Structure 1
């Protein structure tokens, strides 16, 4: 692959924190540009509505603001053991207990923000299941604003959907945390209007690092996309 560079702008619709892009969405943009299975590392918050340089080479991709590195992607083989899907009824019940309804650090988040309206945010409210510890689930039906004319949901939105549920799976141990690394695999096309079950589960904890898996399942209980994430706890205020 030859060296390619393009200018991209992250629309404010796709924020995580109020002034920067949602981590999963940004990772999905780099993965699209690289065009191969990859792991993305977030180095600094990507600003919104700002021209950014997306540089693609044979060995990876970088998102930059001038000389500042915001995110980088490298080829990566994702191997993740997936739990069985929970039922739609279980997911519906779980989301009623979404911790973000009580206290949400980022109510504006494109993926899990409680202040976002339908057809604007994804509104994925993954709450704890009774099935096992550190496991969350929710229902999600991607809307038509996320799809091309053929009805297929763009992959960066699937990367986004796989992001926040992992945080809510590890939140009790992680506290306030930021997405550090993320790798996702889209196994088959997903269409707007298709109801999915979203799952997130803790994989392990290591000091300030918390590892989570997430997956999207179709109505037959088949996994159609999955991801692994590293969440990094912010140091407690002195």
Structure 2
């Protein structure tokens, strides 16, 4: 990479309104280190504006004077999910997403937004027999692919939302993605029938360590990630934004 480059993130690949989905942002930034890496988010990432990517240790991503993210390459890895649900089980989990019909800051998220029919439609819900594990089908479309192969940023996006802490989703506690590390084992083709699984690995007072994996019809992991989520200190701010209003 040169000393500094510029990138723009697409407006339709949003999480909160006007901001990038965390997984799409992290996946885009990880591309500068070859695709397998850890991205730490220092602030929300805006869309459709020039972002400066500067070489260094670590690589930094900024908008103007504001540091948005740091990026480091990591070794390849694969994480095994605690369960491997079928497509039917994952579909039932998706329909059990506890915030269906509730307006909240991520209702229009390109990955998990239940009504976002032009998105990835990876809306994770709890598995019936494993309520602490989230799952969703993932059948990628050509809208998120190049020459029939799903873009890496979209793979990171699909891994992002299912890694949300299941307990926080159940209790409607709002968390923000703090960091994400991911590795893709093989290319993913448009139309593949995949399942994304997310689970919690460690719980702190405000931070939660989680993991997620995409599995194919044989149960083979094709991509996986770990993440750190941080709960907002003032949950009442989210309530004033209709997080809990139906």
TM over 0.5: yes
Please state if 1:76 is matched with 2:74: yes
The alignment covers a number of residue pairs equal to: 233
Which 5+ residue runs of structure 2 have no aligned equivalent? 238-246
DSSP 3-state at the match of 1:212: strand
Aligned match of 1:196: 194
Aligned match of 2:111: 111
Deviations 1:152-208 (A, max 9, x none): 111110000000111152423671010001001101110001010111111121000
Deviations 1:109-145 (A, max 9, x none): 111112312xx21111111112324101111100011
Q: Is the 8 A contact 1:30 1:61 kept in 2?
A: no
Task: Indicate how the Cα distance of structure 1 residues 115 and 130 shifts in structure 2: closer, same or farther if over 3 A, else same.
Answer: closer
Given the alignment, which residue of 152, 160, 165 partners 2:149? 152
Q: Is the 8 A contact 1:137 1:198 kept in 2?
A: yes
Under a length normalisation based on structure 2, what TM-score does the superposition of the two structures give? 0.88
Aligned match of 1:169: 166
Shift of 1:61: 2.0
Which 5+ residue runs of structure 1 have no aligned equivalent? none
Under a length normalisation based on structure 1, what TM-score does the superposition of the two structures give? 0.91
Q: Is the 8 A contact 1:187 1:224 kept in 2?
A: yes
DSSP 3-state at the match of 1:16: coil
Task: Indicate how the Cα distance of structure 1 residues 83 and 132 shifts in structure 2: closer, same or farther if over 3 A, else same.
Answer: same
DSSP 3-state at the match of 1:221: coil
Question: Over the residues paired in the alignment, what is the CA RMSD in angstroms?
Answer: 1.9
After TM superposition, the structure 1 = structure 2 runs for residues 223-234 of structure 1, keeping only pairs within 5 Å, are 223-234=221-232
Question: In structure 2, what is the Cα distance between the partners aligned to 1:169 and 1:107?
Answer: 17
